[in-house]
DNA sequence: AGCACA
């Protein structure tokens, strides 16, 4: 008489050693599942927090009879199966084994990866996140970031037990409404484990916090994402100064390598770090000085000037929002000069290492946030460039041998008066970066050129070591002068004589 | 309260 008489249930009930459990309480974890099921046999695998509501689970016994005994028992029992007082419905799974029980995000650790669904980054403050997660124990560090997956946060606890409690309690739940702006609708938390064990927070900011280190400097201007200065209401650039310069390189017909940039920008002070990246098809670079003053001088001096003569590689400089770059110490695209002997790493670092430098650290679903991680775990100090985007520009970055032969001129070295340079006295003088570079600078911005005005005409003798550092052909900045006479194959001498501007 | 994962 029932309509289901000749119908099977939508989900077949043929016995399987895998059982499907539903109506589980949201708190349910693996241990509770095992407690419920182990009287009937040995459990070889489980999967909990399944389904949209995370209230289903699978349990796999070693053999079919054990699963059958459990289903049979509760089918005839007056006491339903329960977890924490909640009735659990048990049936045979329509599969015969549990696959992929543990995704990387399920491997417990002391750091949680929290995705806050349905909100924009600005809707949930780091203080709210801190408040919510502090209910389970001392929160050591928080780093937030925004990616395709949504607004995410890494929450570091002292140990995996506390992290686990927080995850079990909060996964799938919402941040209380009263903690959120009114316009926010639902706001579900999706929580998995991060592979990280210790976040590297460099600044206290609205994006990242280290609660273990109250003396960590505050970086009030660290704003995620956009590197370029924001536009003010009047449409003019709102520039706040920074010790890090953002250089956009226009008309980049010639290679602009880390070494070239280091040479150019070192004229104004110690360059700490450099990172080159592509943005919207344009090459950009971040150059970090120890202080704002140095950066400011460099910016004023170099803005609008060309690295190479003929209008090539014109620099446009602005202040980055970043204050401390998190770059690979030695790669094609970045350099950290604050690390001793970084140049020695050259031979040891595979050329492709930078392309996915932290891949091993970001298994599974964290993969999608790698770029943001590099930025935000470091405290929001790095723009969210994707190193992988830099493929395909090898023509410009490989070696000096790819310079167009006849038109090569070397980059400038501000700080030495062009007039002090010898011309034609040696093969090298014609390629002198000082000569051409200074000329280029002088032409582009007469009177502002740092090489003339800042350091005056107190030039060193030709051939002294600063000149070496200017030569982009030099792969190694400490290369002895004599070695520079041996040009890399394929690099032609300059096609035009040195030009000395005023 | 009704089947994951790739």
Q: Which nucleotide is nearest to A11 (CA to C1')?
A: B2
Residue closest to B2 C1′ by Cα = A11
Helices A258-266 & A292-302 angle (0-180, nearest 10): 100
- A23 CB below 7 A from strand B atoms: yes
- Other Cβ atoms closer than 10 A to A456: 11
Does the pLDDT at position A305 exceed 50?
A: yes
- A367 CB below 7 A from strand B atoms: no
CB A355 within 8 Å of CB A393: no
Q: Which nucleotide is nearest to A23 (CA to C1')?
A: B1
Residue A433 DSSP SS3 = helix
Residue A204 has phi, psi (to 5 degrees) of: -80, 125
Amino acid A150 CA to nucleotide B1 C1' distance, rounded Å: 30
Query: What does the pLDDT look like over A272-303, one tens digit per residue?
Result: 999 999 887 889 999 999 999 999 989 999 99
Span of A61-70, A233-242, A413-422 with lowest mean pLDDT: A413-422
- A10 CB below 7 A from strand B atoms: yes
Residue A461 tokens read as: 């003798």
Q: Which of residues 100-129 of A touch strand B (CB under 7 A)?
A: 100-101, 103
Residue whose token pair is 């099921």: A37
Q: Which of A316, A240, A300, A220 has its CA nearest to residue A267? A: A300
Provide the percentage of residues in chain A whose pLDDT is more than 90. Answer: 42
Amino acid A170 CA to nucleotide B1 C1' distance, rounded Å: 22
Amino acid A104 CA to nucleotide B2 C1' distance, rounded Å: 27
Amino acid A114 CA to nucleotide B5 C1' distance, rounded Å: 21
C-alpha A290: how far from its chain's center?
A: 22
Alpha-carbon span A171 to A190, nearest angstrom: 5
Q: What is the pLDDT of residue A90?
A: 96
Amino acid A345 CA to nucleotide B6 C1' distance, rounded Å: 39
Q: What is the pLDDT of residue A9?
A: 53
Span of A95-99, A150-154, A216-220 with lowest mean pLDDT: A216-220
CB A30 within 8 Å of CB A48: yes
Does the pLDDT at position A114 exceed 90?
A: yes
Q: What is the pLDDT of residue A483?
A: 28
Amino acid A20 CA to nucleotide B4 C1' distance, rounded Å: 10
Q: Which residues pair with A154 in a beta bridge?
A: A113, A143
Query: What does the pLDDT look like over A325-368, one tens digit per residue?
Result: 888 899 999 999 998 765 555 545 443 333 333 333 333 333 33
Residue A5 tokens read as: 């008489």
C-alpha A94: how far from its chain's center?
A: 42
CB A38 within 8 Å of CB A61: no
Does the pLDDT at position A257 exceed 50?
A: yes
Residues 6+ apart with CB under 8 A from A396: A252, A254, A255, A256, A283, A402
Residues 6+ apart with CB under 8 A from A63: A17, A41
Does the pLDDT at position A260 exceed 90?
A: yes
Q: What is the pLDDT of residue A323?
A: 86
Q: What is the pLDDT of residue A249?
A: 95
Helices A126-134 & A160-170 angle (0-180, nearest 10): 100
User: What does A380-393 look like in DSSP terms, one character per residue?
Assistant: S-S----GGGGTT-
Q: What is the pLDDT of residue A10?
A: 58
Q: What is the pLDDT of residue A222?
A: 53
- Other Cβ atoms closer than 10 A to A203: 22
- A7 CB below 7 A from strand B atoms: no
Amino acid A80 CA to nucleotide B2 C1' distance, rounded Å: 17
Query: What does the pLDDT look like over A209-252, one tens digit per residue?
Result: 999 998 998 876 654 443 444 455 665 556 778 999 999 999 98
- A50 CB below 7 A from strand B atoms: yes
- A61 CB below 7 A from strand B atoms: no
Q: Which nucleotide is nearest to A4 (CA to C1')?
A: B2
Amino acid A23 CA to nucleotide B1 C1' distance, rounded Å: 6
Q: Report the pLDDT averaged over residues A40-62.
A: 92
Amino acid A9 CA to nucleotide B3 C1' distance, rounded Å: 13
C-alpha A434: how far from its chain's center?
A: 36
Residue closest to B6 C1′ by Cα = A100
- Pick from A227-236, A254-263, A320-329, A385-394 the range whose average pLDDT is largest: A254-263
Which strand B nucleotides have any atom less than 7 A from protein CB atoms? 1-6
E strands of A78-224, at which residues? 82-83, 86-87, 89-92, 111-116, 139-147, 150-157, 189-193, 208-210
Alpha-carbon span A478 to A177, nearest angstrom: 61
- Other Cβ atoms closer than 10 A to A168: 18
Q: Which nucleotide is nearest to A88 (CA to C1')?
A: B1
- A47 CB below 7 A from strand B atoms: yes
Amino acid A57 CA to nucleotide B4 C1' distance, rounded Å: 9
Q: What is the pLDDT of residue A142?
A: 97
Which is higher by pLDDT, A50 or A100?
A50
Q: Which nucleotide is nearest to A103 (CA to C1')?
A: B5
- A20 CB below 7 A from strand B atoms: yes
Q: What is the pLDDT of residue A345?
A: 56
- A13 CB below 7 A from strand B atoms: yes
Provide the percentage of residues in chain A whose pLDDT is more than 70. Answer: 61
Query: What does the pLDDT look like over A439-492, one tens digit per residue?
Result: 354 333 333 333 323 333 333 333 323 322 333 333 332 222 222 232 333 333
Amino acid A400 CA to nucleotide B6 C1' distance, rounded Å: 46
């Amino acid at each position: 008489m029932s309509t289901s008489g000749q119908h099977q249930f939508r989900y077949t009930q043929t016995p399987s050693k895998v059982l499907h459990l539903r109506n589980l309480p949201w708190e349910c974890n693996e241990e509770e599942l095992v407690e419920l099921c182990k009287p009937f046999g040995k459990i070889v695998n489980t999967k909990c927090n399944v389904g949209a509501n995370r209230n289903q689970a699978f349990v796999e016994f070693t053999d079919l009879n054990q699963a059958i005994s459990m289903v049979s028992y509760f089918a005839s029992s007056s006491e339903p199966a329960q977890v924490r007082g909640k009735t659990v419905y048990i049936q045979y799974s329509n599969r015969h084994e549990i696959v992929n029980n543990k995704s990387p995000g399920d491997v417990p650790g002391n750091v949680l990866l929290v995705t806050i669904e349905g909100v924009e980054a600005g809707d949930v403050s780091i203080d709210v996140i801190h408040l919510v997660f502090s209910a389970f124990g001392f929160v050591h560090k928080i780093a937030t970031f925004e990616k395709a997956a949504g607004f995410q946060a890494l929450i570091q606890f002292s140990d995996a037990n506390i992290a686990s409690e927080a995850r079990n309690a909060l996964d799938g739940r919402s941040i209380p409404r009263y903690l959120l702006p009114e316009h926010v609708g639902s706001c579900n938390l999706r929580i998995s484990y991060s592979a990280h064990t210790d976040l590297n927070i460099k600044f206290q900011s609205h994006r990242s916090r280290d609660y273990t280190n109250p003396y960590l400097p505050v970086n009030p201007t660290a704003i995620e994402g956009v590197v370029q200065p924001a536009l003010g209401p009047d449409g003019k650039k709102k520039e706040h100064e920074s010790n890090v310069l953002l250089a956009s390189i226009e008309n980049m017909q010639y290679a602009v390598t880390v070494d070239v940039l280091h040479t150019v920008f070192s004229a104004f002070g110690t360059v700490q770090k450099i990172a080159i990246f592509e943005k919207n098809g344009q090459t950009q670079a971040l150059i970090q000085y120890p202080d704002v003053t140095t950066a400011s001088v460099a910016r004023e001096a170099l803005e609008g000037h060309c690295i190479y003569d003929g209008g090539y590689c014109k620099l446009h400089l602005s202040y980055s929002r970043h204050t401390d770059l998190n770059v690979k110490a030695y790669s094609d695209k970045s350099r950290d000069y604050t690390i001793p002997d970084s140049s020695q790493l050259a031979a040891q670092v595979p050329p492709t290492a930078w392309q996915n430098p932290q891949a091993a650290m970001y298994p599974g679903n964290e993969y999608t946030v790698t770029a943001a991680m590099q930025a935000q775990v470091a405290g929001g100090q790095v723009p969210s460039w994707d190193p992988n985007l830099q493929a395909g520009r090898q023509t410009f970055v490989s070696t000096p041998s790819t310079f167009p032969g006849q038109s090569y001129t070397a980059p400038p070295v501000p700080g030495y008066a062009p007039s002090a340079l010898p011309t034609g006295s040696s093969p090298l003088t014609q390629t002198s970066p000082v000569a051409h570079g200074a000329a280029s600078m002088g032409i582009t911005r007469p009177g502002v050129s740092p090489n003339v005005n800042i350091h005056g005409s107190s030039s060193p003798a030709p051939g002294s070591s600063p000149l070496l550092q200017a030569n982009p052909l030099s792969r190694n900045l400490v290369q002895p002068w004599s070695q520079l006479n041996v040009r890399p194959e394929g690099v032609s001498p300059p096609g035009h004589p040195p030009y000395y501007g005023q």
